[in-house]
Amino acid sequence: MVLGRSFSRRTRKGNSYSPHNPGSVNRPPGLGRTATSHRTYFPAAGFDWALPIYDPLAKLLGAGKYSSAVVDWLELAPGHWVLDIGCGTGTLAVLIRQLHPGVAVVGLDPDPRALALATHKAERAGVEVHFDRGFSDQLPYSDASFDRVCCTGVFSLIPPEEKETTLREVHRVLRPGGSFHLVDLFKTPRGSFLWHLVKPGLRFEVWNVDKTIALMHQAGLINPRKTGQFPNWFWPWPLACYQAFR
């Protein structure tokens, strides 16, 4: 899950940026920033102790069908670069690479434990995905680096004052004509108050469809709109799908 600003970047020997051969290189051009502060974040599984059961539980709730639907929605083509913001344990990022070997995929998340699982998952699947530790409102990538940016199920967990900055960062790293794909809650789920009881510092805020679209407009994204909704049997809470362009 993505909250905050500071990040660290891991490098691999021999990797260099080549926009013409994304299938063999998985690292985009970076901005050369360094971490400037320590920030808290919402762990991928909500709690560190829950991480080992995160993937089995997600699978039980239908994450496989959900991820496949998102991949289809991205309308990928060979040569595309994809950024998965809030990649967690890497399920979506790995699936994209498996289904589209000619696409380069980068996953970003602030949770180092989740990223370790994501790296292991990619290795087991035999695919190359680059995973960075980072935060959504200060993306560690150069302007116009990606053809697709996706953010699934984490936007509500970003503090309200960082939501617009996050969308402006999305606009910055998208290439002209590239698209942003957002999947997020549009109604506050029942029982969400429990998160505040067990995690008092969490600023959980769900924005409705109109407010989310308006914020995309303010961030400079073109033609933002709601494109669909996952049915409740597919996930226990209502999820809306949004798309916008640069």
Per-residue pLDDT in tens (0 to 9) along the chain, 246 residues: 333 333 333 333 333 334 334 444 445 665 444 343 577 777 766 777 777 777 767 777 666 677 888 999 999 999 999 999 999 999 999 999 999 999 999 999 999 999 999 999 999 999 999 999 999 999 999 999 999 999 998 998 888 889 999 999 999 999 999 999 999 988 766 555 555 544 555 556 788 899 999 999 999 999 999 999 876 555 556 789 999 999
Contact 62, 235 (CB under 8 A): yes
Query: Of 158, 151, 206, 152, which Cα lies nearest the Cα of 173?
Result: 151
Query: Of 106, 148, 143, which Cα lies nearest the Cα of 15?
Result: 106
pLDDT at 189: 60
Does 54-245 carry CATH code 3.40.50.150?
yes
Q: Residue 86 has what DSSP assignment? A: T
> Which residues face 184 on adjacent strands?
240
Vertex 166, ends 40 and 65: CA angle to 5°? Answer: 90
pLDDT at 4: 34
70: enclosing H helix or E strand: helix 63-74
The model's pTM: 0.80
